[in-house]
């Protein structure tokens, strides 16, 4: 069973709209969460990290973490066509532990 | 800044062939990784290495070998290519630490005839 599960599998939003991506972990040891973004033909790039409960905002992107429910989300405000990409949630527990990736959410921003 | 270089970018092989993919990083990172990505899907860890000459198996190590010859390089060998196999192999690196981000290369796209 995958330790990190993402929903939805795909999401379409109009340009200027809000995109909300979800991620749930099945491992209570996970302490460190990341969002990665992959444009077609490229490798994934780290978008932002969140390690503490609550919200973390970076520009148009806001991540939210609730460790009690093992849930992390990513909200993209004022979505742009350049935000169209595959978004991965990733999590790890111990300091030397490996990073576990979810299967990804394909975001399409419609001009 | 640094860069991760994967070679080759495209690799076409024959069924049963042994194929080697190479990865170089100039970040001076301790840890390096090989992931496999099937079309539109998530990343599955094949091997990782936390330091030179170290090797750790991931979830998908069967059918692969890896070698960390020096700190800056990490190679992956497909021991026997499977017919009609098609995937992208991604190399990544990071500093050793739970909070450290991974930096990825652009990938090697494998097609097996």
Q: Does B39 touch chain A (CB under 8 A)?
A: no
How far, in Å, are A2, B57, B76, B93 from residue B62 at the CA level? 18, 9, 12, 22
Tell if the CB–CB gap between A49 and B4 is shorter than 8 Å. Answer: no
**Nearest residue on chain B to A4, judged by CA atoms?**
B42
User: What confidence tens digit (pLDDT) does each residue in A60-108 have?
Assistant: 999 999 999 999 999 999 999 999 999 999 998 765 678 889 999 999 9
CB interface of B with A, residues 75-94, below 8 Å: 90, 92
- Report pLDDT digits (tens) over B61-109: 999 999 998 999 999 999 999 988 899 999 999 987 656 789 999 999 9
């Amino acid at each position: 069973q995958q330790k990190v599960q993402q929903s939805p599998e795909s999401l379409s939003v109009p340009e200027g709209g809000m995109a909300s991506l979800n991620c749930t972990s099945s491992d209570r040891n996970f302490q460190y969460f990341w969002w990665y973004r992959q444009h077609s033909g490229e490798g994934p790039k780290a978008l932002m990290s969140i390690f503490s409960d609550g919200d973390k905002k970076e520009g148009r992107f806001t991540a939210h973490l609730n460790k009690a429910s093992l849930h992390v989300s990513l909200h993209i405000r004022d979505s742009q066509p350049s935000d169209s990409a595959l978004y991965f949630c990733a999590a790890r527990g111990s300091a030397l532990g490996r990073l576990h990736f979810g299967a990804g959410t394909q975001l399409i921003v419609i001009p | 800044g640094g860069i991760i270089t994967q070679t080759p970018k495209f690799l076409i092989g024959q069924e049963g062939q042994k194929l080697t993919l190479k990865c170089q990083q100039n970040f001076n990172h301790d840890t390096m990784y090989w992931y496999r990505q099937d079309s539109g899907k998530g990343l599955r860890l094949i091997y990782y290495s936390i330091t030179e000459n170290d090797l750790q198996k991931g979830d998908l190590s069967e059918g692969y070998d890896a070698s960390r010859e020096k700190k800056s390089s990490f190679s992956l060998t497909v021991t026997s290519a499977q017919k009609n196999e098609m995937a992208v192999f991604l190399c990544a690196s990071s500093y050793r630490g739970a909070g450290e981000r991974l930096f990825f290369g652009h990938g090697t796209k494998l097609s097996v005839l």
